[in-house]
Structure 1
Amino acid sequence: MHTVSLAEQDSRMGPASTVYALTDALGASELALNYYELEPGESTSYGYHAHEDQEEVFYVESGELTFRIPDGEVTVGEHELVRFGPGEFQRSENTGDDTAVVLAMGAPQDPGGTVLRRECEACGGETRHGVELADAADEILVRCEDCGEITGRYE
């Protein structure tokens, strides 16, 4: 058994105000686990994406998340859960007026290949993107794979 306190965790850079990567803190070997506090407009991901080998479950402790899915959108509210199987595209956004508190779980821990799509103004549409650490290691960059344009910066 291994326990951790959220109060002792350091938030990492990412698409939400608070992101605690709990996988290593708990010593998990088969499960990826992340805790989020999302302000309105923030997301748990860098874009519309799918994991080749990983299923994901999101538990919304408080607030709400709206997920973009291939068929449109679905909103998941307080004390609700949603599951995405391997290969299912999704992207969350806190569309509510309050902070959303969310626990994200993925298994297996290694998602395999991840396909990430975002709007790229330079290309004029949604394109494949990659995520990288900036040279100074002070922000995460999301870059269009077609033209090299940076479409997102996260500190």
Structure 2
Amino acid sequence: MEKVRIDEVENSVQPAAVMRPLTDALGTTDLALNYYELEPGDSFAFAYHSHEIQEEVFYVQEGTATFETENGPVTVEAGEIVRFAPGELQRGWNRGDEPVRALALGAPLEYGEQQTLRYCSDCEEQTDNRLERTDDDSAVVAYCEECGAETGRWYRGSMDGEVP
């Protein structure tokens, strides 16, 4: 058995004010588990994305999350749960005025190939992107695979530099 206090797990560099990766802290081998706190404008993910083999489930504990999907936006309110099948494109946001608190679960732990789409102002369209951590691990930077332009930059606990 493993037990952790969520607030004792180190915050990760993410496009959310708080993202605490619980997978390693709990030693799970078949399940990814993350805790999120999204301030207005924050996102669960760096990009509109899908996982080849992992399904994702989001349980919204507080606030309202809005997920971009191929079929349009999906609103998930406190006390609701949403599931995304493997290969299904999505990106969740806090589009409201109040914080969002949520748990994200993914199974299996490995997600295979990941498609990550972000808007590139140089290409003037959604393009595949790659994510890289800076050498000092203080930020994550997204780059367009088509032209190499930077499409976003995130620092620990903030959305500084997010390119819409």
After TM superposition, the score normalised by the length of structure 2 is: 0.93
Matched, 1:149 2:160: no
- Give matches, 1:101-140, under 5 Å: 101-140=101-140
Query: Partner of 1:91 in structure 2?
Result: 91
Instruction: Give the letter for the 1:55 counterpart.
Output: E
Runs of 4+ in 1 over 6 A off after TM superposition: none
Q: CA deviation at 1:81?
A: 0.2
Instruction: Give the letter for the 1:30 counterpart.
Output: D
Q: CA deviation at 1:136?
A: 2.9
Instruction: Give the letter for the 1:109 counterpart.
Output: L
Query: Structure 2: which 5+ runs fail to align?
Result: 156-164
Cα-to-partner distance string for 1:111-130 (whole Å, 9 max, x where unaligned) = 10000001000111110001
Instruction: Give the letter for the 1:66 counterpart.
Output: T
Cα-to-partner distance string for 1:43-98 (whole Å, 9 max, x where unaligned) = 10011110000000000000011011101111000010000000000011101111
- Give matches, 1:4-153, under 5 Å: 4-153=4-153
Query: Partner of 2:2 in structure 1?
Result: 2
SS of the counterpart of 1:136?
A: coil
Task: Select between 44-53 and 132-141 the one with higher mean Cα deviation.
Answer: 132-141
CA distance in 1, matches of 2:136, 2:32: 27
* Coordinate RMSD, CA, aligned: 0.7
CA distance in 2, matches of 1:128, 1:12: 23
Paired residues, number = 155
Task: Select between 126-135 and 105-114 the one with higher mean Cα deviation.
Answer: 126-135
Seq. identity, %: 46
